[in-house]
Amino acid sequence: MIWWRRLRLLYQLAFLALLLWLLERLAAGDPRTLPYDLLHHGDPLTAAGLALAHHAVPTALGLSLAVVLLTLAGGRIFCGWICPLGTLQELVARWGTPRRLRERSGRNRWRPLYRTKYVLLALLAGWAVLGSLQTGLLDPLSLLARGLAAAVWPLLPVRGPVPGGWIAGALLAAVVLASVWTPRLFCRAFCPLGALLGLLARFSLFRIRRIDGRCTGCLLCVTDCQGADEPLGDHRVEECMVCLECIDRCGEHALSYGFSSAPSPLPAVPDLSRRRALGALAGGLVLGPVLRASGGGRTARSATAIRPPGSVPENEFLDRCVKCMLCQQACPTGAIQPALSGVGVEGFWTPVLDMRRGWCEYTCTRCGEVCPTGAIRLLTADEKIGRNDDPPVRIGTAFIDRGRCLPWAMATPCIVCEEMCPTDPKAIWLEEAVDHGRDGNAVRLQRPRIDPARCVGCGICENRCPAGEHAAIRVSTAGETRSAANRMLVGS
Amino acid sequence: MADRETGRDRRQVLLGLARTGLAAGGFGVLYHVLRERPRERSATPGIFDWRRTGGQRAGAIARGSDPAANVRRAVAALGGMERFAGRGETVLIKPNVGWDRVPEQAANTDPDVVAELVRLCLEAGAARVVVADFPCNDPRRSFTRSRIGPAARKAGATIVYPPSLGTRPADLPGVLAGLEVMELLPRADRVINVPVVKHHSLAKATLGMKNWFGVIGGGRPRLHQGIHRAIAELGAAFRPTLTVVDATRILVANGPQGGSLDDVRRVDAVAAGTDPVALDAWGASLLGLDHRRLGFIAEAEKLGLGLGDPSSLEELGTA
């Protein structure tokens, strides 16, 4: 084994361990400000998606420029050495690896199916141009973090279950387990980030070179090839993940990785006819409006789609959110959950708050701290609760259901919502009243009333209301700070 | 006989299956241990009596600007911590860590009071001092921002809160029936209840007996439907070795979590004692309430839990 193979494995395991450790610390509520979104910030697909959809890229995503430069210099090193999802696939692929070299090489030859990722990239790009950022659905970092947050972390005792978590979990499991059949099937065939880096890798300075005279055409180079880029003939440099396994395998020393002074004439790559690429782009341009119109996420406002505090207005939110669910992982009360419905097709798996699972802790700003794209703004605690006479950041307003409320409907004392209300002065105030029960005896009651000018929509009242799962006080998005259209009070 | 496609013989395939089976089984066991931790299902008796007999005074009140010194003087006047925490015992300290608030907001027990009690218990020879509560806000934030977590840990206590602290069934009587309690209650030899004096819109005051809400698991909000009776029944079900009422700062309005410093008054006093009802009556008087007209104090007297008379406490004054 040549030293770089060990080195590559070391790099891969280190980045995988880094991601897992950061996510674990995030879920455990580590008070330190660790760079939880470090890997997500180095994602050129997110940066490109935001540039297309939002016409601006947050400075934090500048790290992705480093990945772009790395790719221009040496090819898809990110895929072969860094990407944790690629590492997981590679590890799992070992299970299915046949012992016979010939069968092994059969799994690592290029297939027409591997063009699909460029179609997907074009589709997502077309969609993004129209302002709907859906790269997160297939982005390897989002896909992995989401799957872990939804289906792996809930296995641990510290996190609660996630609604529909199995969907993200099944996607992750399918991606990883497909590698038993074909190594890195997802990377080779479906990964839009891999496709984007592949386009850049065509211009890479360093690449696999072949000394024609020495090659005997034995195909050994393909044995452990990660990218299915076939270094034997016309090397598909855009598919190469720089795993360098081919160099190790070649008995004739015909292959090397180095500076290519005379760049080989670009093959007709990406291995996709211009017609198909344009077709896919057009498909995205059509699919975008159709799904937006029929999915109805932007115009048909939802009362229950309560976005995390500091979220930007809905249109911009959908332009920015990559569905990585780091915010879900970060939320200390478990209120942030993926939306499976009620936010349109575009909003599928974007974060919303479910007040029966948690509530928005009054001075907590954790979700904004970890959002890699600025879909949730970073707030200070003072900004959030509106100290210094500024208005607080509202995520909605609580409404009392007088038909379910104990003191309003059933002449039974209860002040739990008022007790829980964290604002100062409390948004929930108590009105003294005398009611009578069935026996006709007078009961002195304190009935909760809401001062909508004070309510921030944190939902701890809904969370603690004793009136069963359908609480007698419920938060809806009305009055949320981020929306100019969703105002309730005059002058607010 | 090797398989034509993979080149593996039967032995290798069987070994592979065994390895996979072992890994899957290991995952199952790990999941069971971590997530479905075998919970104590049999109910513990629902009356927890940690009292010690003996002692002349119902309690003592110490005043001064140093909360830790107040704790020391008040406990010393009762005969010292040796009376309440024996050698080798496990002592549970139950402060009020209900809210994600800082000490200056007076929504939680003062951290110095808790830390001093931890030190006194350890000095008296206690083997282990545990500080625990079920907060209303996020437990980690509540323990950190109240500074009770760091202060008690520094003093030598073990801090436990959810999700690592769970509940277990208990045969609680009366209105408490069906609720679960903090799982470590049966394992504690002695318990010190350390409430803070606060306003409460329904009960008028939240003090020592009300502080037992914090050892009850889910479902406790419904106890508000008959709050005075519920508080007294809590006092009957949980009978601490010692009650220490923190009145370093008290919250006179917008309780029990407050927020505004305008609602906080500095009293600079700590009372310790063995009559929870007398101590609650004293705390109520600090809030300007007539303790004789407080429902939960009358109910508690009816249950024979103590005498709602603050004058039974010895006033030690300022040091």
Is the Cβ of B228 closer than 8 Å to some Cβ of chain A?
A: no
Instruction: Identify residue A389 by its one-letter amino acid code.
Output: D
Q: In sequence order, which residues have a C-beta less than 8 Å from that of residue A377 and are 6 or more positions away?
A: A310, A311, A312, A368, A371
The partner residue sitting opposite B254, judged by closest CB among A364, A412, A424, is: A424
- Indicate yes or no: CB of B37 within 8 angstroms of CB of A157: yes
Q: Are residues B111 and B210 in the same domain?
A: yes
- Cβ atoms of A235 and A202 within 8 Å: the answer is no
**Which residue from A184, A330, A209 is spatially nearest to A262, judged by alpha carbons?**
A209
DSSP label of A491: T
Q: In sequence order, which residues have a C-beta less than 8 Å from that of residue A432 and are 6 or more positions away?
A: A444, A445, A446
| Chain B residues touching residue A422 (CB < 8 angstroms) | 100, 257, 259
- Cβ atoms of A393 and A382 within 8 Å: the answer is no
Give the pair of three-digit tokens for residue B48.
Answer: 């927890």
- Indicate yes or no: CB of A464 within 8 angstroms of CB of B100: no
- Cβ atoms of A214 and A253 within 8 Å: the answer is yes
Q: Are residues B221 and B309 in the same domain?
A: yes
Q: How far is Cα A134 from Cα A124, in angstroms, rounded to an integer?
A: 6
| Chain A residues touching residue B259 (CB < 8 angstroms) | 422-424
Distance between A105 CA and the closest CA of chain B, angstroms: 12
Q: How far is Cα A337 from Cα A154, in angstroms, rounded to an integer?
A: 12
By CB atoms closer than 10 A (0-12, 13-18, 19+), residue A299 is exposed
By CB atoms closer than 10 A (0-12, 13-18, 19+), residue A245 is buried
Q: How many domains does chain A have?
A: 3
- Judged by average pLDDT, the poorest of A113-122, B9-18, B44-53 is B9-18
Q: In sequence order, which residues have a C-beta less than 8 Å from that of residue B223 and are 6 or more positions away?
A: B175, B176, B179, B213, B216, B230
Query: Which pLDDT value is given to residue A139?
Result: 96
> What DSSP string runs through A304-335?
S--PPTTBPPHHHHHHH-----HHHHH-TTS-
- Indicate yes or no: CB of B34 within 8 angstroms of CB of A157: yes
Give the pair of three-digit tokens for residue A223.
Answer: 């044995």
pLDDT band at B1 (very low <50, low <70, confident <90, very high): very low
Residues paired with residue A434 on neighbouring β-strands, in sequence order:
A444
pLDDT above 70 coverage of chain B, percent: 95
Q: Which single residue is written with the structure tokens 């001062």?
A: A451
Residue B176, classed as helix, strand or coil, is helix
The partner residue sitting opposite B141, judged by closest CB among A98, A157, A364, is: A364
Helix (H) or strand (E) holding A65: helix A63-74
Q: How far is Cα A252 from Cα A450, in angstroms, rounded to an integer?
A: 81
The partner residue sitting opposite B201, judged by closest CB among A155, A418, A424, is: A418
User: Does a structural domain hold residue A252?
Assistant: yes
Domain that holds residue B224: 44-318
User: Does a structural domain hold residue A53?
Assistant: yes
Is the Cβ of A31 closer than 8 Å to some Cβ of chain B?
A: yes
3-state percent helix, strand, coil for chain B, nearest multiple of 5: 40, 25, 35
DSSP label of A419: H
Give the pair of three-digit tokens for residue B28.
Answer: 């199952």
Q: How far is Cα B279 from Cα B227, in angstroms, rounded to an integer?
A: 19
Q: Where would I find the beta strands (DSSP E) of A68-216?
A: 206-210
pLDDT above 90 coverage of chain B, percent: 76
> Chain B residue closest to A157 (CA)?
B35
Is the Cβ of A318 closer than 8 Å to some Cβ of chain B?
A: no
> What DSSP string runs through B269-291?
EEEEES-HHHHHHHHHHHTT--G
CA B203, chain centre distance (Å): 19
- Cβ atoms of B47 and B236 within 8 Å: the answer is yes
Q: Are residues A341 and A241 in the same domain?
A: no
Q: Which single residue is written with the structure tokens 């990377």?
A: A187
Q: Are residues B9 and B93 in the same domain?
A: no
DSSP label of A74: H
Query: Which pLDDT value is given to residue A299?
Result: 63
Q: How far is Cα A229 from Cα A209, in angstroms, rounded to an integer?
A: 12
- Cβ atoms of B276 and B305 within 8 Å: the answer is yes
The partner residue sitting opposite B225, judged by closest CB among A363, A406, A424, is: A406
Residues paired with residue B63 on neighbouring β-strands, in sequence order:
B269, B318
Look at residue B36 and tell me whether its pLDDT is greater than 80: no
| Chain A residues touching residue B229 (CB < 8 angstroms) | none
- Cβ atoms of B58 and B274 within 8 Å: the answer is yes
Q: How far is Cα A453 from Cα A270, in angstroms, rounded to an integer?
A: 57
Query: Which pLDDT value is given to residue A56?
Result: 85
Q: Are residues B32 and B65 in the same domain?
A: no
User: Does a structural domain hold residue A284?
Assistant: no
Q: In sequence order, which residues have a C-beta less than 8 Å from that of residue B28 and are 6 or more positions away?
A: none
Q: Are residues B190 and B230 in the same domain?
A: yes
| Chain B residues touching residue A420 (CB < 8 angstroms) | 136, 257
> What DSSP string runs through A226-280?
SS---TTSS--TTT-----HHHHH-TT--EEEEE-SSPPPPPS-SSS-HHHHHHH
User: Does a structural domain hold residue A42?
Assistant: yes
- Indicate yes or no: CB of B100 within 8 angstroms of CB of A419: no
Q: Widest CA span of chain B, in angstroms?
A: 94
Q: Are residues A161 and A255 in the same domain?
A: yes
- Indicate yes or no: CB of A363 within 8 angstroms of CB of B100: yes
Q: Are residues A78 and A178 in the same domain?
A: yes
Q: How far is Cα A252 from Cα A212, in angstroms, rounded to an integer?
A: 11
Reading phi first (left if > 0) and then psi (alpha if -120 to 50, else beta), residue B110 is in: beta
CA atoms within 13 A on the CB side of A161: 5
Is the Cβ of A425 closer than 8 Å to some Cβ of chain B?
A: yes
In angstroms, the Cα distances linking B73 to A95, B65, B114, B316 are 69, 13, 14, 8
Q: Widest CA span of chain A, in angstroms?
A: 105
The partner residue sitting opposite A333, judged by closest CB among B138, B200, B201, is: B138
CA atoms within 13 A on the CB side of A178: 14
- Cβ atoms of B258 and B105 within 8 Å: the answer is yes
Q: How far is Cα A488 from Cα B97, in angstroms, rounded to an integer?
A: 36
Q: What is the ipTM of this complex?
A: 0.87
DSSP label of B216: B
| Chain B residues touching residue A424 (CB < 8 angstroms) | 254, 258-260
CATH code: domain of residue B205: 3.40.50
Each residue's pLDDT tens digit, B288-307 = 999 989 999 999 999 999 99
* Stretch 80-139 of chain A: residues touching chain B, C-beta under 8 Å: 98-100, 103
Q: Are residues B209 and B299 in the same domain?
A: yes
Is the Cβ of B4 closer than 8 Å to some Cβ of chain A?
A: no
Q: Are residues A203 and A237 in the same domain?
A: yes
Q: Are residues A108 and A36 in the same domain?
A: yes
Q: Are residues B151 and B298 in the same domain?
A: yes
| Chain A residues touching residue B225 (CB < 8 angstroms) | 406, 412-414
Query: Which pLDDT value is given to residue A268?
Result: 44
- Cβ atoms of A319 and A50 within 8 Å: the answer is yes
Instruction: Identify residue B248 by its one-letter amino acid code.
Output: T
A342 or B138, higher pLDDT: B138
Distance between A98 CA and the closest CA of chain B, angstroms: 5
User: Does a structural domain hold residue A282?
Assistant: no
Q: Are residues B19 and B168 in the same domain?
A: no
Q: Are residues B160 and B186 in the same domain?
A: yes
User: Does a structural domain hold residue A486?
Assistant: no
User: Does a structural domain hold residue A26?
Assistant: yes
- Cβ atoms of B191 and B50 within 8 Å: the answer is yes
- Cβ atoms of B67 and B116 within 8 Å: the answer is yes
Q: Are residues A42 and A137 in the same domain?
A: yes
- Written as tens digits, the pLDDT of chain A (492 aa) is 578 888 999 999 999 999 999 999 998 888 888 899 899 999 999 999 999 988 888 888 889 999 999 999 999 999 999 999 999 999 999 887 887 887 888 889 999 999 999 999 999 998 888 878 899 999 999 999 999 988 888 887 766 778 888 889 999 999 999 999 999 999 999 999 999 999 999 889 998 888 878 888 888 899 899 999 888 777 888 999 999 999 988 888 888 888 876 555 555 455 566 777 788 888 888 877 777 777 666 665 788 889 999 999 988 898 899 999 999 999 999 999 999 888 888 888 999 999 999 999 999 999 999 999 999 999 999 999 998 788 999 999 999 999 999 999 999 999 999 999 999 889 999 999 999 988 999 999 999 999 999 999 999 999 999 997 899 999 999 999 998 888 888 876
Q: How many domains does chain B have?
A: 2
Q: How far is Cα B151 from Cα A74, in angstroms, rounded to an integer?
A: 53
| Chain A residues touching residue B37 (CB < 8 angstroms) | 157
Q: How many CB atoms lie within 10 A of CB A194?
A: 31
Query: Which pLDDT value is given to residue B40?
Result: 65
User: Does a structural domain hold residue A439?
Assistant: yes
Which of A331, A346, A381 is at the close of a domain?
A: A381
Is the Cβ of B7 closer than 8 Å to some Cβ of chain A?
A: yes
Which of A334, A349, A381 is at the close of a domain?
A: A381
Q: Are residues A164 and A304 in the same domain?
A: no
- Indicate yes or no: CB of A156 within 8 angstroms of CB of B34: yes
Torsion angle, alpha carbons of A259, A260, A266, A270, to 10? -20
| Chain B residues touching residue A361 (CB < 8 angstroms) | 100, 137-138, 141
Q: Are residues B301 and B274 in the same domain?
A: yes
Domain that holds residue A189: 3-259
Q: Are residues B31 and B72 in the same domain?
A: no
Residue A2, classed as helix, strand or coil, is coil
CB contacts < 8 A, A to B, total 89
CA atoms within 13 A on the CB side of B306: 31
Q: Are residues B31 and B66 in the same domain?
A: no
Query: Which pLDDT value is given to residue A442?
Result: 92
